[in-house]
């Protein structure tokens, strides 16, 4: 076949519809990322990897990375434990109840993270709802403050990111025929066996997608930890913000931003590969 006869993507008028989006992403996304990458590898004498060597040699920075991954993992776990059964309840609910639940899940997404974080400041303080509830249940003997603690940060972030766990799982669960579990029961399978060998494998693509969404957003959140736990608890995103806004250290900010980007991209790419592999194995 002649090379000239091969169809060109850009000769397709439909493909040209993507040109504005591609141009937009190049200007507002690719170029700033390229600038950060080049800045992180640039020193006074020219190209260098010394900023990364110095960053990794500081034990404090390893604690920052540990804080980032630990909080993101806890937020993802809490969202999964709450979101997995909620997705099933949403998929199996009647029409009216399903509409109410979808509105309750989607409507909070229209409220900014700053407003939600300030609301959680009220909820997590010593005389807040959470403290009074635990006091009434007898779990605490006296009111305690969850604000500016790691536990409070996990609770607040999980509340904000919970819809991003529920909706991907729900989109998969609604496609599963409920009669599959009933068929397993007629063959003598226990509820636990049916869940482990039928339900869970079929929902794994949605679970992996939800975990990727929540974990990647939890790793990179900046406003929520700044308002709920303060500057004494540093993550990669807050350290990046402090480097640019307070310390005016563009090289340190660029280095931490690139490390954060690598973590987030690795999570998304790895989870996408895993979801495709699991999706192919269940078909």
Euclidean distance between CA atoms 283 and 266, whole angstroms: 26
Whether residue 225 sits in one domain with residue 133: yes
Q: How many domains does the chain have?
A: 2
CATH number at residue 259: 1.10.3720.10
Q: Is 140 left (phi over 0), alpha (psi -120 to 50) or beta?
A: beta
Q: Does residue 173 share a domain with residue 35?
A: no
How close are the terminal C-alpha atoms of the chain, in Å?
36
Residues 10 and 114 in one domain: no
State the average pLDDT over residues 49-77.
Answer: 94
151 and 19 in a common domain: no
Based on the fold, state whether residues 267 and 152 are members of the same structural domain. yes
**Mean pLDDT, all residues of the chain:** 87
187 and 216 in a single domain? The answer is: yes
Residue 225 has pLDDT above 90, yes or no: yes
**Residues 140 and 231 occupy one common structural domain:** yes
Residue 198 to residue 135: CA distance in whole angstroms: 41
Paired with 253 in beta bridges are: none
pTM of the model: 0.86
Q: Does residue 57 surpass a pLDDT of 50? A: yes
Same domain? For 277 and 145 the reply is yes
Do 61 and 31 share a structural domain?
no
Q: Which domain holds residue 24?
A: 1-40
Same domain, yes or no: 128 and 23: no
Residues 81 and 206 in one domain: yes
Comparing 130-139, 144-153, 234-243, 255-264, which segment has the lowest mean pLDDT? Answer: 130-139
pLDDT band for position 2 (50/70/90)? very low
Spatial separation of the C-alpha atoms in residues 211 and 74, rounded to whole Å: 11
For residue 81, the Cα-to-chain-centroid distance in whole angstroms is 15
Same domain, 35 and 55: no
pLDDT, tens digit, 9 for 90 and up, residues 111-160: 888 899 999 988 898 888 888 888 888 888 888 888 899 999 999 999 99
């Amino acid at each position: 076949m002649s090379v000239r006869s091969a169809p060109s993507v850009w000769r397709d008028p439909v493909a040209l519809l993507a040109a504005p989006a591609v141009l937009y992403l190049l200007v507002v996304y690719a170029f700033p990322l390229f600038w950060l990458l080049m800045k992180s590898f640039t020193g006074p004498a020219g190209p260098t990897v010394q900023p990364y060597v110095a960053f990794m040699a500081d034990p404090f920075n390893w604690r920052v990375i540990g804080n980032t991954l630990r909080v993101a993992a806890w937020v993802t776990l809490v969202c999964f434990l709450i979101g997995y059964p909620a997705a099933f309840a949403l998929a199996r609910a009647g029409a009216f109840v399903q509409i109410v639940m979808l509105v309750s899940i989607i409507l909070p997404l229209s409220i900014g993270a700053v407003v939600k974080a300030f609301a959680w400041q009220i909820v997590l303080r010593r005389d807040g709802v959470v403290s009074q509830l635990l006091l009434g249940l007898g779990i605490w003997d006296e009111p305690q403050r969850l604000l500016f603690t790691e536990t409070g940060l996990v609770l607040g972030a999980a509340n904000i990111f919970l819809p991003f766990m529920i909706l991907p799982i729900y989109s998969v669960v609604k496609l599963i025929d409920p009669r599959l579990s009933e068929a397993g029961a007629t063959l003598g399978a226990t509820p636990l066996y049916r869940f482990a060998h039928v339900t869970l494998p079929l929902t794994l693509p949605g679970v992996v997608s939800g975990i990727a969404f929540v974990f990647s957003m939890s790793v990179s959140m900046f406003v929520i930890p700044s308002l709920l736990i303060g500057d004494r608890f540093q993550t990669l995103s807050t350290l990046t913000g402090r480097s640019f806004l307070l310390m005016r250290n563009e090289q340190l900010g660029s280095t931490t931003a690139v490390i954060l980007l690598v973590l987030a991209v690795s999570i998304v790419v790895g989870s996408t590969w895993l979801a495709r592999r699991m999706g192919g194995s269940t078909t």
